[in-house]
DNA sequence: GACAAAATTAAGTAGGCACATAATATTTTT
DNA sequence: AAAAATATTATGTGCCTACTTAATTTTGTC
């Protein structure tokens, strides 16, 4: 033997990935069992297991007990998005962050909001409308509903100076988060607040969070024209 | 001892997660070393390691050798998106899928395309414009460029009957994929093809793929009005 | 042949050990 | 006091073994 440095699970993963890329295994094909691959490559089964888990997480293969591992027959593009706190997002671009509360009101949540929270009975929530600024220019307009039953402390927070976005993310970690992206035309009021033309096409990010079963908040974040979401490299 | 079933790494993960949720550890705080947690919970360090890796992957904590583990001071919302092949997406909704090629042309790629591929020199590529239909109605309009140097076989594919989307995903797995989402107003031609009003706000998904360093394809997928992207539950 | 029970199989997980690696802290040297 | 060498430490990885779990597949029975 010359050198034969031990294979890392990433090496194993890359070799299998490579085999799939070069067509050695096609979508739907079954791969050898972990134990056999391990023997082939002269490494431990646990190393192959970790490699396979990673490929499975990234959506490239499917694994089933007894069924073995196969290349996903219906390939999906699986992407990971990082959505930071807006302040950080702006600062990371090298811009100056600004925040402005527009409205703050306690009222019964409309059915749209109850719907996303999967709630049956109406209840009072805190609605906050606010504008995030980048270098003084409108960046994101958010319309947020906060569940007072789950987060009563929010009433003591000075939302005129600290964004609910930031306070919540630091003080109310969630256990579940649903996201939704779509495009919407600016209505008159939105266009006015974002300083863009009416009917401008805007990317909207809706985010709803829970702790266990309890609703925390739902936000409709309307981004200014030109905003783009990128997958993390 | 009563039962004391062994702790699974998911139990450990959930316990730590819980501790963070309830504020026992705040953003920025350092957590005990894996070994100590393992002793506390009476399990193996490798179990804690797996739990921590998972929390780290999901963006909740940061881990550094010697530095230990700490709760991420700048919490991010990390979400995973699955983008299936369009045909499957339509069929999964219970709709009938349709496909229609609009244009197919070999020409020098414009600088926009060279740009996304990070290519310096101009080269010829295959441009394909096509429409995906759901129950006969326009669903996604795609403008695609395929690199002939990397995928010369595409010239032999009958793109009038099989979508490039599908052929590529089954025959040319990628090793890198960049995604970009934004909103755009429909221009006259787009509005016409998608059967919507001019100036409609449309969600655009741009996807660019490579095998190693070699460009495969870049698509600008313009979705019909009402299209929404959801994170996978 | 149809259905149920039992055996088999391959991935999933827990534990334990040894060592690698990357930060950080400490000590020594200049 | 600054810089360089060294020790320390917590996570990361690999290996091995044993056992669990979920699917099949086989076998047995009616």
Structure token digits, residue A53? 């888990």
Q: Please indicate, yes or no, whether residues A41 and A151 belong to a single structural domain of this protein.
A: no
Instruction: Check if B201 contacts A (Cβ < 8 Å).
Output: yes
Ramachandran region, residue B149 (left: φ > 0; alpha: ψ -120 to 50; beta: rest): alpha
Q: Please indicate, yes or no, whether residues A41 and A128 belong to a single structural domain of this protein.
A: no
A176 touches strand C (CB under 7 A): no
Q: Contact, B102 vs B193, CB < 8 A?
A: yes
The answer to whether B83 contacts A77, with C-beta atoms less than 8 Å apart, is yes
Q: Please indicate, yes or no, whether residues A128 and A202 belong to a single structural domain of this protein.
A: yes
Share of chain B above pLDDT 90, in %: 89
Tokens 């095998």 found at: B211
- Look at chain A and count its residues: 233
pLDDT tens, A219-230?
999 999 999 999
Min CA distance, B193 vs chain A (Å)?
18
Q: Please indicate, yes or no, whether residues A54 and A116 belong to a single structural domain of this protein.
A: no
Q: Please indicate, yes or no, whether residues B46 and B135 belong to a single structural domain of this protein.
A: no
Q: Contact, A69 vs A48, CB < 8 A?
A: no
CA B66 → C1' C20, Å? 13
Structure token digits, residue B155? 């010239």
Instruction: Check if B28 contacts A (Cβ < 8 Å).
Output: no
CATH number at residue B200: 3.40.1410.10
Tokens 């996978």 found at: B232
Q: Please indicate, yes or no, whether residues A126 and A45 belong to a single structural domain of this protein.
A: no
Q: Please indicate, yes or no, whether residues A23 and A113 belong to a single structural domain of this protein.
A: no
pLDDT tens for chain A, 233 residues long, are: 444 578 999 999 999 999 998 899 999 999 999 999 999 999 999 999 999 999 999 999 999 999 999 999 988 999 999 999 999 999 999 999 999 999 999 999 999 999 999 999 999 999 999 999 999 999 999 999 999 999 999 999 999 999 999 999 888 888 899 999 999 999 999 999 999 999 999 999 999 999 988 999 999 999 999 999 999 77
Q: How far apart are CA A146 and CA A106, in angstroms?
A: 9
Q: Please indicate, yes or no, whether residues A37 and A126 belong to a single structural domain of this protein.
A: no
Q: Please indicate, yes or no, whether residues A66 and A91 belong to a single structural domain of this protein.
A: no
* Minimal Cβ distance to A77: which of B177, B185, B201: B177
CATH number at residue B50: 1.10.10.10
| Nearest partner of B141 among B231, B216, B217, B205, judged by Cα | B205
Protein-covered nucleotides of chain C (CB closer than 7 Å) are: 8-17, 20-24
Instruction: Check if A21 contacts B (Cβ < 8 Å).
Output: yes
Q: Please indicate, yes or no, whether residues B141 and B191 belong to a single structural domain of this protein.
A: yes
Tokens 């996304």 found at: B116
In DSSP notation, B149-213 reads TT-GGGGGS-TTTS-HHHHHHHH---SEEEEEEEEEE--HHHHHHHT--TT-EEEEEEEEEEETT
Of the three residues B20, B36, B71, the one that is the final residue of a domain is B71
* Minimal Cβ distance to B77: which of A59, A83, A183: A83
**Domain containing B38: what range?**
9-71
Q: Contact, A14 vs A50, CB < 8 A?
A: no
Q: Contact, A176 vs B192, CB < 8 A?
A: no
B181, B186, B225, best to mutate vs chain A, most A CBs in 10 Å: B181
Residue B149 falls within a domain, yes or no? yes
Q: How far apart are CA B103 and CA B161, in angstroms?
A: 12
State the DSSP code for A3: -
For A43, the 3-state DSSP assignment is coil
| Nearest partner of B169 among A168, A97, A71, A42, judged by Cα | A71
Q: Please indicate, yes or no, whether residues B47 and B162 belong to a single structural domain of this protein.
A: no
Residue A80 falls within a domain, yes or no? no
Q: Please indicate, yes or no, whether residues A97 and A205 belong to a single structural domain of this protein.
A: yes
* Residue A151 burial (10 A CB sphere; 0-12, 13-18, 19+): buried
Q: How far apart are CA B171 and CA B169, in angstroms?
A: 6
Instruction: Count the domains in chain B.
Output: 2
pLDDT tens for chain B, 233 residues long, are: 444 577 899 999 999 999 998 899 999 999 999 999 999 999 999 999 999 999 999 999 999 999 999 999 988 999 999 999 999 999 999 999 999 999 999 999 999 999 999 999 999 999 999 999 999 999 999 999 999 999 999 999 999 999 999 999 888 888 899 999 999 999 999 999 999 999 999 999 999 999 988 999 999 999 999 999 999 76
Of the three residues B23, B40, B71, the one that is the final residue of a domain is B71
């Amino acid at each position: 033997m010359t050198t034969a440095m031990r294979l890392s699970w990433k090496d194993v993963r890359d070799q299998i990935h490579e085999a799939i890329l070069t067509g050695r295994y096609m979508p739907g094909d079954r791969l050898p069992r972990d134990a056999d691959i391990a023997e082939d490559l002269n490494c431990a089964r646990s190393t192959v297991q970790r490699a396979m888990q990673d490929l499975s997480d990234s959506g490239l293969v499917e694994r089933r007990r007894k069924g073995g591992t196969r290349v996903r027959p219906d390939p999906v593009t699986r992407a990971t998005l990082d959505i930071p706190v807006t302040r950080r997002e702006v600062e990371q671009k090298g811009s100056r962050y600004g925040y402005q509360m527009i409205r703050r009101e306690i009222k019964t949540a409309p059915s749209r909001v109850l719907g996303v929270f999967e709630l049956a009975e109406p209840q009072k929530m805190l609605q906050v409308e606010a504008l995030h600024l980048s270098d003084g220019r409108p960046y994101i307009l958010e319309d947020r509903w906060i569940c007072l039953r789950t987060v009563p402390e929010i009433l003591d927070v000075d939302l005129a100076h600290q964004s609910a976005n930031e306070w919540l993310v630091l003080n109310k970690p969630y256990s579940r988060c649903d996201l939704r992206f779509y495009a919407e035309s600016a209505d008159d009021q939105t266009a006015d607040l974002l300083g863009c033309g009416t009917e401008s096409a805007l990317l909207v990010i809706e985010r709803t969070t829970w702790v266990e079963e309890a609703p925390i908040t739902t936000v409709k974040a309307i981004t200014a024209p030109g905003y783009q979401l990128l997958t993390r490299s």
